[in-house]
Chain A
């Protein structure tokens, strides 16, 4: 589903963020990407929807090179949430916020409404459809951002730190969302520092360090 071959990325100031990285992700896998801050995790995943372009090497999404394909187009295949959910919230109501992405990928009418309602209820915000996103606390805004990407029905879902700042109940909700995504055959990739969440929800863990893959294998069983 996603392939990176010899992926190298240099920042404009010359620092190398990714060093000839190779990675292969099959459809339907659930993968966690771990590593210390600055190891290249966010940089890596931003190549999959075209937000970043390789300095050398290549990235293939669903068998097709990402070169020449627009972000908005790749976003139909690879949906993504970001570490700071507030960077995207702009609509007057949660419902419109969730509808934004879904509409951009082509959903309309009854299909759109259903996608929005489903997404909001699966993250536990069913009754918040008409509320302003900023009336929700920061942790629920993170759940709202998750709903936004769910409504887009993308085959691949990439989550950057989906459990940051969430309490245990909210983390449980994210875990059940991921289980549902997996049950429908979608590919889920999450960047996370939460070892317990990783062990509970992901079958494969890819660890990065200084722009390279240093470990790639099954998740270790949950402790305690």
Chain B
């Protein structure tokens, strides 16, 4: 939410003011907020939240190791499988890092409480160390992994396979069929589509 919300606000503001259309709601200097813009912004924000929610749900319900093992089993490139799994792992690492960065800067007298502007100003000393540090960590990790032959092409014999129950297989098929049905319904005009 902390990431999605500012992004959504930024996108919404841009959309409201830049979408072409005739129904002007508010005028601020040269910028016109239009009804069409509001409509567009609402859709974009909605899509953004749905995507974020889906990714979060995926991250919360999928164990990285199961995911990677399964991708490799289905003959996806091991490097790709690892990259995706590493991505899932990275988010909590970055969040943890952000916390310690925040602690370090607070200990140097940075005020993180207070009014909105103060909080915004407080972000500057936080971004750099989080990003650079995370990049360093990624670099260090990828070296260590290169040394363990993660980049080696070719088949692997996994130690264990994720348990794939009949129920999960059925659920997957139903979801895919449902998605196909919705897509078909939209294209045929039975279901309302998004513009």
Contacts and interface: CB of A to CB of B under 8 A. Distances in A.
Chains A and B touch (C-beta atoms under 8 A apart): yes
Interface of A: 46, 49, 51, 70-72, 75-76, 79-80, 82, 84, 86-91, 100-101, 104-105, 134, 148-149, 152
A-B interface, 4 closest residue pairs, ranked by CB to CB distance from nearest: A104-B109, A90-B128, A101-B108, A88-B104
B158 interface: no
Given A100-B125, A134-B132, A87 B100 contact: yes
Interface residues of B, number: 23
A76 B113 CA distance: 16
B107 interface: yes
Interface in B61-114: 97, 100-101, 103-113
Contacts of B126: 90
B109 A82 contact: no
B109 A51 contact: no
B99 to A, nearest CB: 10
B161 interface: no
Contacts of A134: 132
B172 interface: no
A84 B112 CA distance: 21
B59 interface: no
Interface of B: 97, 100-101, 103-113, 124-129, 132-133, 136
A103 B106 CA distance: 13
Contacts of B108: 75, 88, 100-101, 104, 148-149, 152
17 contacts: A71-B107, A72-B106, A75-B109, A82-B100, A82-B103, A82-B104, A82-B107, A84-B100, A87-B129, A87-B133, A88-B129, A89-B129, A90-B126, A90-B128, A91-B125, A104-B108, A148-B108
B119 to A, nearest CB: 13
Given A82-B100, A100-B125, A88 B109 contact: no
A100 B129 CA distance: 14
Residue among A70, A72, A91, A105 with the highest chain B CB neighbour number at 10 A: A72
Contacts of A90: 105, 124-129
